[in-house]
Amino acid sequence: MHHIAAAARGPWQTTNIEGVLGHDLLALPEGTAKLIRLLPGARYPRHQHPARTEYAYVLAGTPRLIVADQAYDAAVGDFVTFPTDTPHALENHAQVEALLLVGAVYHRPTPDGD
């Protein structure tokens, strides 16, 4: 299966969070991938997900990535995972926007319920 997402050609989607824009790249039952723009001062609030692990790869800027109670000031090329059921957040305290590749891997229950 081939999937080409021409992100540069499509519009950015607004979200319900001020200063956060998205562009979907992939949506499959097993996982997702999208580009996220964090404008200066934007904060994506703490949240968590059951049955999936999220990840973020920094493409531009210096966002703050928060996992549980640890804050990490990231740089271009950094990769962070947000484990299942772990609170996490994204913030941009810089004067320039940050660009991240964000996605999720969905976990299927095992036959024994785990």
Helix, strand, coil percentages, rounded to 5, for the chain: 0, 50, 50
The continuous run of DSSP H or E covering 46 comes out as strand 43-47
Do 62 and 97 touch, CB atoms closer than 8 A? no
30 occurs within a structural domain = yes
The domain tally of the chain equals 1
14 occurs within a structural domain = no
For 41-95, the pLDDT digits (tens) are 999 999 998 889 999 999 999 999 999 999 999 999 999 999 999 999 999 999 9
Q: What is the structure's pLDDT at 4? A: 63
Question: CA torsion 13→92→17→102, rounded to 10°?
Answer: 50
44 occurs within a structural domain = yes
12 occurs within a structural domain = no
CA angle 42, 7, 25 (to 5 degrees): 85
97 occurs within a structural domain = yes
Residue listed under structure tokens 């036959």: 111
Q: What is the structure's pLDDT at 108? A: 78
37 occurs within a structural domain = yes
pTM over 0.75: yes
Q: What is the structure's pLDDT at 2? A: 58
Calculate the average pLDDT of the chain.
90
CATH number of the domain that residue 30 is part of: 2.60.120.10
**What is the span of the domain harbouring residue 61?**
22-74+86-106
Amino acid at 56: A
How far apart are alpha carbons 54 and 61 in whole angstroms? 20
48 occurs within a structural domain = yes
